Every structure is written in structure tokens, then in C-alpha cells.
A and B are shown apart, each in its own frame.
Chain A
Amino acid sequence: MRRHINTLNGLITLINDDPLAPSPDLPVSSVLAQMIETVVKTTNLSININSTTGGVHSPRSFHYHGQALDINRLDGKRIDDVSNGANVQVFQQAVAAHIDVAECFGPFINIRKRGAQVEQRPDLRIRHVNHLHISSQT
């Protein structure tokens, strides 16, 4: 089942970093929506989602199935802003601990999860310094 992500009174925004590209405010997996809303509520950190089902991703990406999103701003600052490091780390920890997470890639944590199996992928850090990629298992 798909639905739009609840913006939680402005804590979550959905603005494409390319102003000419379509809005990322599109229906996604309800599991993904629930997971991201829960993490935003528990950390109380605002986010901007700059990609859901659109954009360019791997051909077998979860994005195309509404199961992944990218975040380019957290607490009003860029992901690669050094003054934002602690927030980014807290946010990634909360995502990685969520039962439904499939992928959590960013500057601090890079894991893939299949069922209960967790695979560490530190090699992917270099490709996620400017954004967080988060996907859900269903």
C-alpha cells in the first residue's frame, strides 16, 4: 500500500534540489512513510526529502518501487555541513535501529539489511557524503 509522507506540521519537507525537476511529494510504501515519520518524531530533527520515486538511481533500486528516499537537509542544514555531524549521526542511528530498514547509507552508517541479517558497507560512505539514502524492506 502506498501513501504520501505526513509532513508533521513542517518537520518534513519534500523539495527537489533541482527546482526544474518534479516534486518528490509522491506516494511511497506505507512502511517507508511510517519509518521516516517515526524517526523524525523520535529524534525531533527536521528533514528535507529531495527524492522518492523520481530521479536517477540503480536499475534495481528500491526508489522505483516507492521503498526508498533521499534526504539532503537535516535540521535546516546540509548533510555535509560539519556543524551538523552530531545530528546526522543521531538520525542515522535511529534509522539503522528501525526494524523495517533495508538500506541506510550516509556519512556515519552504511548498512544493508535483509530480514535480520545486517551487512556493513563502509565502502559506500564516499558516495553518501551529501545525502542520506534510506529504504524499507517492504
Chain B
Amino acid sequence: MMRKRLLAALLALTVTACVHAPSLVQFANNAELVAQSPSPMAPLFVRLFRLQGVGECDGPRCPEVSMQIAVSESGEYPRQALFATPPADDWQFVEWGQSPQEEGDIGPVVFTLKTTRHGVSRLLRFAVTLDGLRPLD
């Protein structure tokens, strides 16, 4: 339990720090749009881009993948943000989740991703707002 909490805290620190922000050149050439909010008029609109590093597998070592998460309000001058998961062997979009409605504020957008590291896959649920990305599990 303690280990799980520590892992979640470490992951939260990593994902919000945006240490793996790609250059615009990398993003424009290599990012693949894998999912976007089902409702275009939701208070927060989210787009998920799978971004694989350049290069090829060398035996068991393959280019790493991150998920880039673009968040925008609606409107003529929306606040917008971009977050990223830490790199892994793979990241895949699984599904959108139910957003908790927060009184007087814009609730986060919740989604589930599948990450694979050293051949082991697991599902991770995230909540994203304009202020950051945090794991829920």
C-alpha cells in the first residue's frame, strides 16, 4: 500500500513536470492523434497524441513512447496547456472516464491509458485540468 502511494506520488511529480516536452519539429512530424474529447463543447477539450521517438528497435531496446496531452478551454481566447506522461515502451489510449463535477469550477477530464514497460502492461487512470496531470490510482 505504502509502495503504491509512493509510486503514485513519484508518477505525479514526473507527469506534471513536463520534463519530456518535445520540440515543435518532433511533435509536428511524429505525433499521432489517438483520441480527443467526445464532446467538443465540454468545458475542457482534451486531445491525446502518441509520440514515439525516432529510430528503430535494437534487439529488445526500442524507441520510447510518451503520451502528449493537450488541454483547452472553449472560447475565443481559451487557456491552453500541454502535459506529457513519462516515456515508456508504449502508451495506448483505453477509454474516457467519468469526470467528477466540481462545484463552481471546471472539473477534470478523466481517461485511462495502458502503459507497457519491460514487457509488462498496466492500466493507469489520469485526471487532467489546465493546472496539471495527475494519476488517480
| Consensus secondary structure, chain B interface | loop
Excluding A105-B76, A135-B75, 8 further A-B contacts by CB distance (< 8 Å) are A58-B77, A58-B78, A60-B74, A60-B78, A61-B75, A62-B76, A112-B77, A124-B77
Chain B residue nearest to A121 (CB atoms) is: B77
Task: Give A67 to B78 CA distance when docked, in angstroms.
Answer: 15
Chain B residue nearest to A58 (CB atoms) is: B76
Q: List 21 A-B contacts (CB under 8 A).
A: A57-B76, A58-B75, A58-B78, A60-B74, A61-B74, A61-B76, A62-B76, A63-B76, A65-B41, A68-B76, A102-B75, A103-B75, A103-B76, A105-B76, A114-B43, A114-B106, A115-B104, A116-B104, A124-B77, A135-B75, A135-B76
Chain A residue nearest to B77 (CB atoms) is: A124
Query: Contact size class for A?
Result: 20 to 34
| Consensus secondary structure, chain A interface | mixed
The residues of B that contact A60 with a CB separation of less than 8 Å are 45, 72-75, 78
Say yes or no: is B119 at the interface (Cβ < 8 Å to chain A).
no
Task: Give A135 to B74 CA distance when docked, in angstroms.
Answer: 11
Interface centre among B40, B43, B75, B104 (most CB of A within 10 A): B75
The residues of A that contact B104 with a CB separation of less than 8 Å are 115-117
Task: Give A116 to B104 CA distance when docked, in angstroms.
Answer: 8
Say yes or no: is A73 at the interface (Cβ < 8 Å to chain B).
no
Task: Give A90 to B104 CA distance when docked, in angstroms.
Answer: 29
Say yes or no: is A133 at the interface (Cβ < 8 Å to chain B).
yes
Is A133's CB under 8 angstroms from B40's CB? no
The residues of A that contact B75 with a CB separation of less than 8 Å are 58, 60-62, 102-103, 112, 135
